[in-house]
């Protein structure tokens, strides 16, 4: 059985199929928060600087300032609630908040995250507290911050990534059939997983050594991908 | 089946499902159909091709559909109506023991405050300080015992009082982290203060007049203190008595539940702040009007926090008995 990665959360659907999400790294979360702060304070000062606003008489002006202050404070909370767990900062950093059921957070969960948001909690909590990068607000509300689907490492396109399933596909490296399953898995890791990217030159060297008579076209990345596609196309049951 | 054939066979269908998942206006039925079919394919791919990238593709589309189907309802009047018409009174029913314990303890401390003030006329002075007491005595001598409410602007008072009460609310809630001792300290201080405060006015023959001003906001402020204390007690309870849960799980559950109770105090605090800022200062209004306001607020509170929860309790019990039969 495959071991679940520590930075992944898993949900079992009613059909007993597991869906996986990757927890957002502290760096992405900190940047998202900083962006949100900048946006909300720009909004606040922007309105205060309006010429028409300056002409408003004393008591009404106070009402507006207090209302604005409340809105600025609540901005992050409202964004997360109305944009399905994404604030502006989170959208830019391609992360989002999800509940334990992997659905966007509901009103109470957003509110709990908002109430329990203190800079100290955020910066200290995110680093030291929980194994899934949960801060106090996340733990209390039962939420996680995860990478969005469209994050580059997980974005897969049917046409781009699986051309070998098209009619008229031509095999470039027929010797790919001789690879074992484990070898292809290793090649895939080197291509798609950033953790193993440093092993790419060594892997290419070994493949070339194994097939000295063959010619490889294009960049290392290109021919490695082509090898994997040819393997999938040629392999038997 | 070979992976290539599996992809070839289903590619067009998956493409359609991907479009459905990205379409905001598609019907729930089409989301559900796509979701179930896709999960079947994902399960097959997980078993047959555990190291293939097609799994990641199918999983991504399934996640999109999962979120579409299970996204909770956003803001709607029905949700708000349900929250205030059912969920809040239900929370009161659920935590009625904590409410009763808090209320009884608070009343006992109010009585203690009355006794302390009767024994020593300077007891109230020790709690709120000389400046406030001297100013109030001067106001009583001038014939306006509650003139302190009109000493600053309406909005200033409203904002200041509401902010202060919100801070008290958060401190009171946080005191729940020190099981039972923390909430008890808050309840005792507030109860004794209320008892001494009211007795102080009676000692200067301004009891009834002060009550008609103070209780305009007090009729909501005091219940809100009880709600906050109840939330703190629920939190304390979850820390000390985890039951069959692990302590951490119990704290998580208690935290969510107590926070829900605390939320019900927020509108009460804002309305009490408004009453103190705008209405309590109007000591020249006819006595009947002031009494009517106090009576209305008290009745509203009793209706919402006693009568409605009792009705829900009764209904639930009837349903339980019916199901037993």
CA-based nearest residue to B276, from B153, B185, B184: B153
Are A158 and B62 inside 8 Å of each other by CB? Answer: no
* Angle subtended by helix axes B130-141 and B181-203, to nearest 10: 30
Rounded Cα gap, residues B243 and B245, in angstroms: 5
Based on the domain organization, do A61 and A35 belong to the same domain?
yes
Q: Which residues of B touch A141 (CB under 8 A)?
A: 256
Are B252 and A139 inside 8 Å of each other by CB? Answer: yes
pLDDT score of A2: 45
Are B11 and A162 inside 8 Å of each other by CB? Answer: yes
Q: Are A231 and A184 in contact (CB under 8 A)?
A: yes
| Domain housing A183 | 164-235
Q: Are A105 and A99 in contact (CB under 8 A)?
A: yes
Name the closest residue on chain A to residue B261, using Cα atoms.
A108
Based on the domain organization, do A146 and A170 belong to the same domain?
no
Residue A147 lies in a domain: yes
Residue A13 lies in a domain: yes
Q: What distance in Å separates residue B9's CA from the closest CA in chain A?
A: 9
pTM over 0.80: no
Are A161 and B66 inside 8 Å of each other by CB? Answer: no
pLDDT score of B305: 86
Based on the domain organization, do A140 and A168 belong to the same domain?
no
Instruction: Extract the residue ranges of chain B whose pLDDT is less than 70.
Output: 72-76, 145-151, 283
Based on the domain organization, do A74 and A174 belong to the same domain?
no
Are B63 and A59 inside 8 Å of each other by CB? Answer: no
Q: Which of A152, A172, A197 is the last residue of a domain?
A: A152
Bridge partners, A156 (sequence order): none
Q: How many domains does chain A have?
A: 2
Kindly state the tokens that stand for B293: 């306001």
Name the closest residue on chain A to residue B56, using Cα atoms.
A154
pLDDT score of A64: 75
pLDDT score of B112: 94
pLDDT score of A114: 82
Judged by a CB distance cut-off of 8 A, whether residue B81 touches chain A is no
Residue A108 lies in a domain: yes
pLDDT score of A123: 57
Based on the domain organization, do A43 and A101 belong to the same domain?
yes
H and E: helices and strands count for chain A: 12, 4
pLDDT digits 0-9 by tens, A36-64: 888 888 887 777 776 666 667 766 777 77
Judged by a CB distance cut-off of 8 A, whether residue B24 touches chain A is no
pLDDT digits 0-9 by tens, A132-173: 777 777 877 788 888 886 544 456 777 777 877 777 788 888
Q: Which residues of B touch A98 (CB under 8 A)?
A: 67
Based on the domain organization, do A97 and A204 belong to the same domain?
no
Based on the domain organization, do A147 and A170 belong to the same domain?
no
Give chain B's end-to-end CA distance (angstroms, integer).
56
Mark which residues 32-51 of B lie under 8 Å from A by CB.
Answer: 36, 39-40, 42-43, 46, 50-51
Based on the domain organization, do A68 and A127 belong to the same domain?
yes
Name the closest residue on chain B to residue A82, using Cα atoms.
B74
Based on the domain organization, do A15 and A93 belong to the same domain?
yes
Judged by a CB distance cut-off of 8 A, whether residue B14 touches chain A is yes
| Three-state helix/strand/coil letters over B20-88 | HHHCCCCCHHHHHHHHHHHHHHHHHHHHHCCCCCHHHHHHHHHHHHHHHHHCCCCCCHHHHHHHHHHHH
Residue A96 lies in a domain: yes
pLDDT score of A6: 63
What b/e readout covers B145-160, taking b as 16+ CB neighbours within 10 angstroms?
bbbbbbeeebbebbbe
Are B46 and A192 inside 8 Å of each other by CB? Answer: no
Burial of B124 by CB count in 10 Å (0-12 exposed, 13-18 middle, 19+ buried)?
buried
Q: Which residues of A touch B39 (CB under 8 A)?
A: 13, 15, 17
Q: Are B146 and B280 in contact (CB under 8 A)?
A: yes
pLDDT score of A1: 39
Q: Which of A130, A152, A174 is the last residue of a domain?
A: A152
Q: Which of A152, A182, A198 is the last residue of a domain?
A: A152
Residue A21 lies in a domain: yes
pLDDT score of A122: 55
pLDDT of A3 above 60: no
Mean pLDDT score across all residues of chain A: 77
Based on the domain organization, do A127 and A169 belong to the same domain?
no
Based on the domain organization, do A175 and A147 belong to the same domain?
no
Are A59 and B155 inside 8 Å of each other by CB? Answer: yes
Rounded Cα gap, residues A74 and A115, in angstroms: 10
Instruction: Choose among A103, A188, A232: nearest Cβ to B4.
Output: A232
């Amino acid at each position: 059985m495959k071991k679940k990665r520590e930075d992944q959360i898993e949900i079992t659907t009613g059909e007993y199929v597991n869906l996986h999400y990757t927890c957002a790294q502290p760096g992405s979360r900190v940047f998202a928060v900083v962006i949100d702060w900048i946006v909300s304070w720009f909004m606040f000062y922007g309105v205060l600087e309006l010429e028409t606003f300056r002409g408003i008489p004393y008591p009404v002006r106070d009402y507006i300032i207090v209302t604005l202050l409340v809105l600025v404070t609540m901005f992050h909370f409202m964004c997360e609630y109305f944009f399905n767990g994404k604030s502006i900062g989170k959208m830019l950093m391609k992360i989002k908040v999800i509940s334990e059921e992997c659905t966007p957070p509901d009103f109470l969960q957003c509110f709990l995250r908002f109430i329990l948001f203190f800079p100290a909690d955020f910066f200290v909590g995110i680093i030291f507290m929980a194994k899934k990068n949960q801060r106090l607000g996340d733990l209390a509300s039962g939420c996680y911050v995860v990478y969005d689907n469209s994050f580059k490492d997980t974005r897969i396109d049917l046409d781009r990534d699986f051309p070998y399933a098209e009619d008229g596909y031509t095999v470039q490296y027929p010797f790919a059939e001789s690879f074992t399953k484990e070898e292809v898995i290793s090649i895939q890791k080197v291509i798609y997983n950033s953790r193993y990217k440093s092993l790419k030159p060594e892997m290419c060297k070994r493949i070339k050594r194994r097939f000295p008579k063959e010619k490889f076209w294009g960049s290392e990345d290109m021919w490695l991908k082509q090898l994997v596609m040819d393997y999938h196309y040629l392999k038997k049951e | 089946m070979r992976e290539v054939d599996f992809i070839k066979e289903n590619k067009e269908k998956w493409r359609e499902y991907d479009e459905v998942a990205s379409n905001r206006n598609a019907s729930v039925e089409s989301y559900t159909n796509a979701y179930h079919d896709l999960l079947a394919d994902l399960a097959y791919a997980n078993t047959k091709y555990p190291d293939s990238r097609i799994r990641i593709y199918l999983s991504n589309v399934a996640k999109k559909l999962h979120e579409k189907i299970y996204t909770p309802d956003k803001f709607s009047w029905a949700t708000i109506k349900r929250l205030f018409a059912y969920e809040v009174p239900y929370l009161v029913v659920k935590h009625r023991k904590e409410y009763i314990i808090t209320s009884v303890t608070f009343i006992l401390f109010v009585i203690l405050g009355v006794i302390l003030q009767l024994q020593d006329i300077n007891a109230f002075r020790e709690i709120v300080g000389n400046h406030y007491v001297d100013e109030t005595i001067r106001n009583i001598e001038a014939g306006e015992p509650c003139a302190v409410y009109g000493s600053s602007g309406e909005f200033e008072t409203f904002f200041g009082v509401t902010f202060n009460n919100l801070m008290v609310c958060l401190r009171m809630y946080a005191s729940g982290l020190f099981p039972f001792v923390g909430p008890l300290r808050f309840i005792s201080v507030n109860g004794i203060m209320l008892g001494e405060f009211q007795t102080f006015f009676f000692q200067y023959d301004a009891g009834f007049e002060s009550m008609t001003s103070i209780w305009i906001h007090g009729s909501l402020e005091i219940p809100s203190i009880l709600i906050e204390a109840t939330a703190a007690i629920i939190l304390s309870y979850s820390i000390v008595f985890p039951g069959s849960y692990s302590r951490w799980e119990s704290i998580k559950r208690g935290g969510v539940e107590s926070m829900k109770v605390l939320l019900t105090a927020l509108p009460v605090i804002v309305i009490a702040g408004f009453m103190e800022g705008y209405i309590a200062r109007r000591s020249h209004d006819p006595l009947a009007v002031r009494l009517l306001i106090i009576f209305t607020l008290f009745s509203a509170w009793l209706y919402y926090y006693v009568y409605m929860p009792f009705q829900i309790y009764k209904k639930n019990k009837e349903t339980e008995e019916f199901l037993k039969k």
